[in-house]
Amino acid sequence: MTVYQATASAPVNIACIKYWGKRDTKLILPTNSSLSVTLDQDHLRSTTTSRADPAFTEDRLWLNGKVDEIKEGGRLATCIREMKRLRKEEVEDKNPNEPKLSTYKVHICSYNNFPTAAGLASSASGFAALVSSLAHLYQLPVSPSTLSLISRQGSGSACRSLFGGFVAWQMGSDPSGSDSLAIQIAPQSHWPDMHALICVVSDDKKGTSSTSGMQRTVETSALLQHRINNVVPQRMKDIEKAILEKDFDTFARITMADSNQFHAVALDTEPPIFYMNDVSRAIVAVVVEYNRISVEAGKGYKAAYTYDAGPNAVIYAPERNMKEIIELIVSYFPQEGGSFKDVFGLFGSGQLVAKVPSGFNENVAKRFGVGAVKGLIHTRVGDGPRKLGEEEALLNAEGFPKNLT
């Protein structure tokens, strides 16, 4: 008997032009276009195995070893339904010899290689991996942009994880959502020098969920419409050009400005939404000062911070600056000895030592204790979803999670 099963992994992406606000909450159609950098799956990824089997009695999903309920009418159910529809329309209806997988129930098992405690949104990589594994299972002859239409309905920013490199989510205009999809601006290979340092910031309080927060901003912010209509369209053009020209200065300025503006409209919400805390603010101050000494020396920007809906910083920088940046960050936010994983071998066999560049005004921030920044993850621009071999499948022979049986 044939086993219909496929496994795929998908990357995390971190936006430079932020998505904040839906014009259609059911279809997840955004109020503005956005743009992100896909991060390397070698470091951060979601992996998903999907299997279709006529013997299965219901669609089931396990996430990180635990059952995740597929609620009727919910986002998971929507993505699975849409993928089955594509299977039927694009494969089975066109070739009656193909097995009717669209009529089988599926078992789906998904795993994130980064701890939830890292505070990184896993919904983007998770829905991208889900859709990718089902696309392989169903052998769909469709493009990543078409798949992005479906992953978008799982989690908006998931559409951007269908591509590697530099990815735009075009907001589109059709009420059906048919043109609200991801396109690749440039592949990973265009600018492989783009590295990223994720600073995982400890937080006291549970922040506002982005789903509810962004709609409160849409409803109450007096500034959001101006951002949507008058700011983002130009920034999208400018940052695309900067990426194509590998112009880090412009990339950095726009990325930081758009992070600031996203948090500004969150703050302009009633009641206000704060995602950045004192540690986040201190990281901003350190990056601003780091850039200042370089810009004043005529050498341009060296790093760009960006913050999603939480206190974590992601610092984009050319690879050559990363050693200096890590030394600088640990000067203000010391790490437990030996906890930093030097995956790029920046420090050779030597020790990571806190160090501040010459000319740096050390008073721009106070020095925090160990734990204020709980961890540092050094990664870089990466590729899009990968089809994985049978040996990486997360389901066992019976179609249940391997680690649960």
For binding to a copy of itself (CB under 8 A), which residues are involved? Answer: 204-205, 222-223, 226-227, 230-231, 253, 256-257, 260-261, 263-265, 267-272, 274, 277-278, 281, 284-285, 288, 363-366
Rounded least distance, CB 178 to a copy of itself, Å: 31
Residue 174: CB atoms within 10 Å: 10
**284 or 393: whose CB is closer to a copy of itself?**
284
Rounded least distance, CB 269 to a copy of itself, Å: 7
Distant-in-sequence contacts of 83-91, Cβ < 8 A, 24+ apart: 83/131, 83/134, 83/135, 83/138, 83/140, 83/150, 84/138, 86/138, 86/140, 86/142, 86/146, 86/150, 87/138, 87/140, 90/140, 90/141, 90/142, 91/138, 91/139, 91/140, 91/141
Amino acid residing at 363 = N
Q: Which residues fall within 8 angstroms of residue 159, CB to CB, at 6 or more apart?
A: 128, 148, 149, 151, 152, 169, 180, 181, 182
**167 or 232: whose CB is closer to a copy of itself?**
232
* Cα distance between residue 104 and residue 92, in whole Å: 13
| Alpha helices, DSSP H, located in 180-277 | 210-220, 224-226, 232-244, 248-267
* Cα distance between residue 375 and residue 121, in whole Å: 15
Rounded least distance, CB 222 to a copy of itself, Å: 5
Rounded least distance, CB 274 to a copy of itself, Å: 5
**253 or 302: whose CB is closer to a copy of itself?**
253
Rounded least distance, CB 398 to a copy of itself, Å: 43
**17 or 381: whose CB is closer to a copy of itself?**
17
For residues 186, 346, 280, 121, the Cα torsion angle rounded to the nearest 10 degrees is 50
**253 or 378: whose CB is closer to a copy of itself?**
253
* Cα distance between residue 118 and residue 191, in whole Å: 27
**84 or 263: whose CB is closer to a copy of itself?**
263
Rounded least distance, CB 55 to a copy of itself, Å: 46
**181 or 265: whose CB is closer to a copy of itself?**
265
